[in-house]
Structure 1
Amino acid sequence: MAPIRIAIVGAGPAGIYAADILKKAAADREVSIDLFEALPAPYGLVRYGVAPDHPRIKAIINALREVLESGVVRLFGNVHFGTDITLDDFKRHYNAVIFSTGASKDAPLAIDGIDLDGSYGAADFVSWYDGHPDVPREWPLEAREIAVIGNGNVALDVARVLAKHPEDLLPTEVPDNVLDGLKASPVTDVHVFGRRGPLGVKFTPLELRELGDLNDVDMVLYDDDFGVDPDEEEQKKNKQILVISRVLGKWRERETGSASRRLHLHFWSKPDAVLGDGKVESLRIERTRPVDGGLEGTGEFREFPVQAVYRAVGYYSSPLDGVPFDEMRGVIPNEGGRVVADGEQVAGVYATGWIKRGPVGLIGATKSDAKETIEGLLADEAKWWQPEAPEEDAVTALLAERGVQFTDIGGWAKLDAHEVSLGEPHGRERIKVVPREEMIRISRDS
């Protein structure tokens, strides 16, 4: 049987899992898999979307590293789909392509004033504190009082990083420019607002507990947010919700007032408008209440003086050149991972991860997602492309001819070791290299 040649665009967990599952599912065939990644380093949102003080979640990198170093795949980092390599190129060199490009932009929030100076998307802030090479090195941390809109894990990550004392981040891989920025922050109060009640939140108990462990930060909750929902006892039959209820209950009993910073949790609070004359001066919310399994506004409005607003209301994917895209949902339209256009399957093109299903689910959910896509791909062999130049060297030569300074798995090993060596003298896990040019230079240095 002829060898299988597959390209995967996106070297985050979704792409790497897809490669691993494909190799195992086609163990009786000769399979060649190439991973293309726009950044010089792999791992996607695990490296650039998980807060630096989440080492347990970042430990997933160890499992992903095993796949990269197993010889299952080749990595082509610093390669941009649509410019450095195109869909037509994939058709010439591969049987099929899987897109696993994730979701890295902020979903919009349609309220008045959301574009005022001092209003930010959480995804941009996360990219900054995680040392993403394509965002500015500085962040305007000038506000004493800050609002975070959202009740998911990203909202809690943003709130925690804003409220946390910078010295408590020292053991982590946080970049030096981020530490310097956080040290200059005058923040005293961070307010987190969610539309639903305390038992309708989207974050996990683990994320919630971590807030309560912050040094010199008071957790502030408000009595009128509790006892509102008549279904609270029914909701507590869910184990996760019960844990959240207990954690919040303990915090309500704590004494506050001695810490230099405060993290406020507000529930039943729907953002109505960001107010200010050219820049953020306050956030207006409307109180909500439960009704028939949903929510409704009460007509009661409250204003909170803040000088910065971060919206953490979800992520949104970017369209890809020549690939169908659903603007409403922010995904590649597909059926079980098979990409479709106008109701018809697009031969040779597949999707997995957030670009397939939308930005929902934790990292582990990408495994079952990738399995479904790979099963569909292997069942479609009769519909695969028949490449003109399937030789592995052909792609390497193509990128070199176009002057693409791509990085590979060996280059990532060099960059990884360099970052670890930077952190060792300071007793830190690593210090991330942030500038793209420096990442490329270290990775390609022979």
Structure 2
Amino acid sequence: MPHVITQACCGDASCVYACPVNCIHPTPDEPDFGIAEMLYIDPATCVDCGACVSACPVGAITPGHRLSETAARFADVNAGHYPDSAPGDARFPVRQEWRLPMAPISKPKRLRGAAPDELRIAIVGSGPSAMYAADELLKHTQVTVTVFERLSEPFGLARFGVAPDHESTRTVTNLFDEIARDPNLEIRLNTEVGRDISLDELRRTHHAVLWAGGAPTDRPLQLPGVDLDGVQSATSVVGWYNGHPDFRYSAPDLDTERAVVIGNGNVALDVARIFTADPDRLAPTTIDRTALAALRGSAIREVVVVARRGPEHAAFTLPELIGLADGPARVWVDPAELVDVDASDVADTTIAAKIALLAEISQRPKPDEPFIRLSFGYTPQEICGDARATGVRFVRTGTDEELVIPAGLVLSAIGYRGRPVPGLPFDEATGTVANVAGRIVDGAEPLAGLYVTGWIKRGPSGFIGTNKTDSGETVRKLLADAEAGALPRPGGAPVAV
């Protein structure tokens, strides 16, 4: 029985290169790779060799006959991505360059051309994009990498952004631990660039600086009442229950029966799921102990996740919805909010599968409290209240029909945004450091020795593993510049911090 990719898929694509028959798509060479919600195994082509299982860093691939009850739906999800496939399908030719050794094995090699005998690289940040970049750089014998991380623990959102009950996704940090063991890599924790060491010092003492600082702020919710007590960002709540030191004082007020989350991406679903989960089920996870104690005393009975547009535009991914629908969470959708959409009218298989699953959920009995309600087609107008929030006023999108949902806690979950980096050109429109394929530019001119990767390069899109492809692009530019002799020469030894 063919193998199946499940909810834990991080988009790393190591499985693509490990597969000997090219049955996993989209590949990094295909145009929809950057927007795919997960990777998919073609059941008609898979030969059950198991190479992909060893390559996957998060344990997301399982033989079909071993799927758990909660993951069984993923067999149809994978097959549904290939409705007309057959063995030897010409749409997916087996290309020789894809027949690579099982990832992540590679042979060290030396840079050629004008590359120096020792190439010193500084990476700012230690999240997934930084660690994938370090991995690519360290495949070359004369490269040494120093990673500068302002927090006391490394790996960024892989450690502090993944929900504690998504334990399989968190195992990607095992891969980063393995990368960190390289003798040519040093990670300096509790070291903030701009406070403990300047960007100019890094440029002076390294051949190149690679900025991988992520998108650490939220897109602002611009509504009347947003400054009331009881209103905060969903990402601050994620940081709170994950023990992020920046959010230790961001505990939400859980002494209310209803919370409203504005926005319906994966972060919104994560927060709603944690708020309504049985604390005893969370206890064995890595959840912050102070947060767990607060959740045990929570008064929340309902979390309403509200989207401005209809279910066909839902921002959450299909794997996340499947995990919500088939897992221990209690979730409900009002059937009245789905009357204008039909999965059979939608050509995109992923969107159609979301609509069909939402319709299935809407036919279930309204669950016991505490539960999650997914709501669609309401545009927020204002957060009601005097000193603190008492609810949110919405209008039915495209109409004048008003609805007020009473709530003592309102969370904004409308996305991340990068913030300006002192000393680097910033594009306010996109919230990114100005760059061309990873080379930082000022206007049209590349800034010698300065590179960028991750969300601060491309914007907050994709998943943990998407950063592997993104970082690979930047590293290729950096190494090409090294071999061309285009990198500055360091003016001295690295500064002690």
Q: Same fold (TM over 0.5)?
A: yes
In structure 2, C-alpha distance between the alignment counterparts of 1:45 and 1:6, rounded to whole Å: 22
Residue 360 of structure 2 aligns to a residue whose secondary structure is helix
Residue 347 of structure 1 aligns to a residue whose secondary structure is strand
Equivalent residues of 1:82, 1:320 under 8 A apart:
no
CA RMSD across the alignment? 1.7
Equivalent residues of 1:118, 1:308 under 8 A apart:
yes
Aligned: 1:276 with 2:375: no
Equivalent position of 2:416 in the other structure: 315
Equivalent position of 2:307 in the other structure: 194
In structure 1, C-alpha distance between the alignment counterparts of 2:395 and 2:365, rounded to whole Å: 28
Structure 1 residue 214: deviation in Å? Answer: 5.6
Q: Which amino acid aligns with 2:426?
A: F
Aligned: 1:124 with 2:236: yes
Of 343, 349, 353 in structure 2, the residue corresponding to residue 243 of structure 1 is: 353
Equivalent position of 2:470 in the other structure: 369
Equivalent residues of 1:139, 1:181 under 8 A apart:
no
Q: How does 1:205-244 map to 2 (within 5 A)?
A: 205-213=318-326, 215=328, 218-229=330-341, 232-235=343-346, 237-244=347-354
Equivalent position of 2:170 in the other structure: 58
In structure 1, C-alpha distance between the alignment counterparts of 2:472 and 2:274, rounded to whole Å: 35
Equivalent position of 2:487 in the other structure: 384
Of 156, 159, 164 in structure 1, the residue corresponding to residue 272 of structure 2 is: 159
Equivalent position of 2:117 in the other structure: 2
Task: Spell out, residue by residue over 1:57-102, the C-alpha distance to the aligned partner (whole angstroms, 9 max, x if none).
Answer: 1111111111111334111111001111111111221001000111
Call closer, same or farther: CA 1:135–1:109 in 2, change over 3 Å: same
In structure 2, C-alpha distance between the alignment counterparts of 1:261 and 1:321, rounded to whole Å: 45
Call closer, same or farther: CA 1:7–1:225 in 2, change over 3 Å: same
Call closer, same or farther: CA 1:225–1:62 in 2, change over 3 Å: same
Residue 433 of structure 2 aligns to a residue whose secondary structure is coil
In structure 1, C-alpha distance between the alignment counterparts of 2:244 and 2:204, rounded to whole Å: 32
Equivalent residues of 1:119, 1:280 under 8 A apart:
yes
Aligned: 1:20 with 2:135: yes
Structure 1 residue 360: deviation in Å? Answer: 0.8
In structure 1, C-alpha distance between the alignment counterparts of 2:417 and 2:256, rounded to whole Å: 27
Deviates more, 1:349-358 or 1:337-346: 337-346
Residue 373 of structure 1 aligns to a residue whose secondary structure is helix
Equivalent residues of 1:191, 1:265 under 8 A apart:
yes
Equivalent position of 1:264 in the other structure: 373
Of 426, 429, 439 in structure 2, the residue corresponding to residue 325 of structure 1 is: 426
Q: How does 1:19-98 map to 2 (within 5 A)?
A: 19-24=134-139, 27=140, 29-98=141-210
Q: How does 1:168-207 map to 2 (within 5 A)?
A: 168-207=281-320
In structure 2, C-alpha distance between the alignment counterparts of 1:246 and 1:227, rounded to whole Å: 12
Equivalent position of 1:11 in the other structure: 126
Deviates more, 1:278-287 or 1:305-314: 278-287
In structure 2, C-alpha distance between the alignment counterparts of 1:186 and 1:60, rounded to whole Å: 34
In structure 1, C-alpha distance between the alignment counterparts of 2:379 and 2:277, rounded to whole Å: 25
Equivalent residues of 1:205, 1:243 under 8 A apart:
yes
Q: How does 1:278-293 map to 2 (within 5 A)?
A: 278-288=387-397
Q: Which amino acid aligns with 1:233?
A: S
The runs of 5 or more residues in structure 1 that have no matched partner are 289-296, 400-446
Structure 1 residue 213: deviation in Å? Answer: 4.6
In structure 1, C-alpha distance between the alignment counterparts of 2:208 and 2:369, rounded to whole Å: 56
Greater share of helix: 1
Call closer, same or farther: CA 1:53–1:218 in 2, change over 3 Å: closer
The runs of 5 or more residues in structure 2 that have no matched partner are 1-115
Structure 1 residue 212: deviation in Å? Answer: 2.8
TM-score by length of 2: 0.73
Deviates more, 1:265-274 or 1:375-384: 375-384
Structure 1 residue 251: deviation in Å? Answer: 1.3
Task: Spell out, residue by residue over 1:171-204, the C-alpha distance to the aligned partner (whole angstroms, 9 max, x if none).
Answer: 2111210111111110011100011211221211
In structure 1, C-alpha distance between the alignment counterparts of 2:237 and 2:225, rounded to whole Å: 19
Residue 197 of structure 2 aligns to a residue whose secondary structure is coil
Of 108, 121, 143 in structure 1, the residue corresponding to residue 220 of structure 2 is: 108
In structure 2, C-alpha distance between the alignment counterparts of 1:79 and 1:261, rounded to whole Å: 42
Call closer, same or farther: CA 1:368–1:234 in 2, change over 3 Å: farther
Equivalent residues of 2:335, 2:363 under 8 A apart:
no
Residue 129 of structure 2 aligns to a residue whose secondary structure is helix
Q: Which amino acid aligns with 2:453?
A: T
Structure 1 residue 389: deviation in Å? Answer: 1.3
In structure 2, C-alpha distance between the alignment counterparts of 1:49 and 1:59, rounded to whole Å: 13
In structure 1, C-alpha distance between the alignment counterparts of 2:237 and 2:184, rounded to whole Å: 34
Equivalent residues of 1:105, 1:124 under 8 A apart:
no
* Percent of pairs with identical residues: 38
Residue 199 of structure 1 aligns to a residue whose secondary structure is helix
Task: Spell out, residue by residue over 1:326-350, the C-alpha distance to the aligned partner (whole angstroms, 9 max, x if none).
Answer: 2332110111011111332111111
Structure 1 residue 233: deviation in Å? Answer: 3.1
Q: Which amino acid aligns with 1:270?
A: T
In structure 2, C-alpha distance between the alignment counterparts of 1:246 and 1:223, rounded to whole Å: 12
TM-score by length of 1: 0.81
Task: Spell out, residue by residue over 1:153-177, the C-alpha distance to the aligned partner (whole angstroms, 9 max, x if none).
Answer: 1111111111212122012111210
Call closer, same or farther: CA 1:221–1:70 in 2, change over 3 Å: same
In structure 1, C-alpha distance between the alignment counterparts of 2:264 and 2:369, rounded to whole Å: 24
After the TM superposition, which parts of structure 1 deviate over 6 Å for at least 4 consecutive aligned residues?
Answer: none
Structure 1 residue 113: deviation in Å? Answer: 1.2
In structure 1, C-alpha distance between the alignment counterparts of 2:411 and 2:142, rounded to whole Å: 49
Task: Spell out, residue by residue over 1:232-272, the C-alpha distance to the aligned partner (whole angstroms, 9 max, x if none).
Answer: 5342x323223322322221221225x13121110111212
Higher relative contact order (CA 8 A, sep 6+): 1
Equivalent position of 1:254 in the other structure: 364
